[in-house]
Amino acid sequence: MQNLYLVALSFVLLYAVRKLIDYRRNIKAIRNFPGYRTAIPAASILGNLLPRIPGIVPGRLCVWEPKHGDFDYFGCDMFSSISLFPNRIEMSVCDATTIKEITSSRARWPKPIEQYGALNFFGKNIITTEDDEWKKHRKVANPAFSERNNKMVWEETVKIVNEMFNTIWKDKKEVVVEHCVDITLPLALLVIGTAGFGRAVSWEEDFNLPPGHKMSFKQALHFVSTGLFWKVIFPNWAMGLHKKLREVRLAFKELETYMQEMIDERRNAVKKVERFDLFTSLLDASEGEDDGGTKLSDSELRGNIFIFMLAGHETTAHTLSYCFGLLAMYQDEQEKLYQHIKSVLSDGRAPTYSDMNALNYSTAVFYETLRIFPPVTAIPKMAAEDTTLVVGNQTGEKRTVVIPKGTEIMLHMPGLHYNPRYWKDPHEFKPQRFLEDYNRDAFLPFSGGARQCLGRKFFETEGIAILTNIVQKYKIEVKEEPQFANETFDERRARIFKCTNGLTLTPVRVPLVFKRRD
């Protein structure tokens, strides 16, 4: 038995020595470029769960909370992170020129698609593929995001917001919400139901289930979108261990069935009905291709519409929550926006899609929200070869950084969006900056290059329509609560905009009051 223990101990020691040798080799490979040295990397399950422990783990929210602080600390717009378990080299970068170089060269800096495997729930899609396979998805998906679709998104969004005013808020002079996502999530859900799937979903819950279903389409959409994080975290066998997890598992099954039914219905229809929703456009584009490897399978169709649903639902809901929270905190900016909306819609009419370009202050408010709260805080890339990158710092100095093949490059969105080289007073809410000259390469809430978000216009159209409609008719304030009566402005801002990690940056609680304007 003693010999067995000695053998086991020898293996442990050999493993530890090998890890330390690889660790030292990685440090040497980057010429000891400044950065963090930890046992566990940030991009891991433990890294996302544990708080910062020096030398052990960078900590959850390690990308979001420091903003540009880590770059200031290391004196350069790039820093390294080297870990033991596993042995890994990561580089975080917030230099706009360097990021543009990376996003402009997909061959040199491919996407590490293995990190996105969890998003293949319904099939491979435009997010989880690379190279020729990605090109196939892009070719089919691109026509779905047309000007005709954007116009429909605006019209349906305005219609849905007005239905909320008439059926949910009714004649109330004040609407109090404990958390703004209680409003923005249902709004985004109804829009994606109509503009994404071509299914009219009302505020009134439909309890008449179609034959063969255990959930309504609206319920399935809701539970999939809100339970996605659990689906990512838990393996399939664990999804039956708790009522909530079973509910999410059923929702995924139901949504897959609904999507397949829509594919079959629209593919086999004797008479084609003209529709402009994403699902139909994607199906038509795929069916219109020849058999030269560009036609999408049913699972790929389901996979792509799921990704568009995810991008067009949670991201919109969270961004609008931050947006309304900022307007509530900065009343002067809200008044500027209101007066601008009044000047464009002087007769008090509802905004139309043709008004969108004229509503440039609405766009500026929306963009400034995305700058302050980028939905995706880190975008991973991988070095396909041994190479170098040139990065700068606040004093204008340039530094050449050695990048070994296989190094993971993290495009650090908070670092970029709060970089004082590109943004004056970066922590302040100043929408006006987007009506003036600004560095377009330093604003990347939708990523950049060929792999930038295909649904950007869809997302902007929906968000700006909701923002304009609500501010036109309601004044927004932070809900007053006795326990916070004596807090300072900075304390209130920190409380209102406390965030957590989800699939996108997620507000914890944004309590607001919507007061009807006279």
Q: Where are the alpha helices (DSSP H) in 234-274?
A: 243-268
Specify the pairing of strand 88-93 against strand 408-412. parallel
Are 175 and 169 spatial neighbours (Cβ–Cβ below 8 Å)? yes
Are 391 and 95 spatial neighbours (Cβ–Cβ below 8 Å)? yes
Give CA–CA dist 337/391, Å, rounded.
37
CA 31, 36, 38, 43 dihedral sign is negative
Give CA–CA dist 426/43, Å, rounded.
26
Distance of CA 461 to the CA centre of its chain: 16
Copy the structure tokens of residue 105: 């060269």
Q: Which residues pair with 505 in a beta bridge?
A: 501
Give CA–CA dist 409/33, Å, rounded.
14
Backbone angles phi, psi at 133, to 5 degrees: -65, -40
Backbone angles phi, psi at 359, to 5 degrees: -85, 55
Residue indicated by tokens 């801002």: 493
**Spatial strand order in the sheet of 408-412:** 35-38, 78-83, 88-93, 408-412, 378-382
Q: Show the CA angle centred on residue 188, arms to residues 183 and 191, nearest 5°.
A: 130
Which among 518, 502, 516 has a CA at the least distance from the CA of 181? 502
Which among 100, 256, 18 has a CA at the least distance from the CA of 10? 18
453 is in an annotated binding site: yes
Are 191 and 462 spatial neighbours (Cβ–Cβ below 8 Å)? yes
Q: Which residues are annotated as a binding site for heme?
A: 453
Q: Which residues are annotated as a binding site?
A: 453
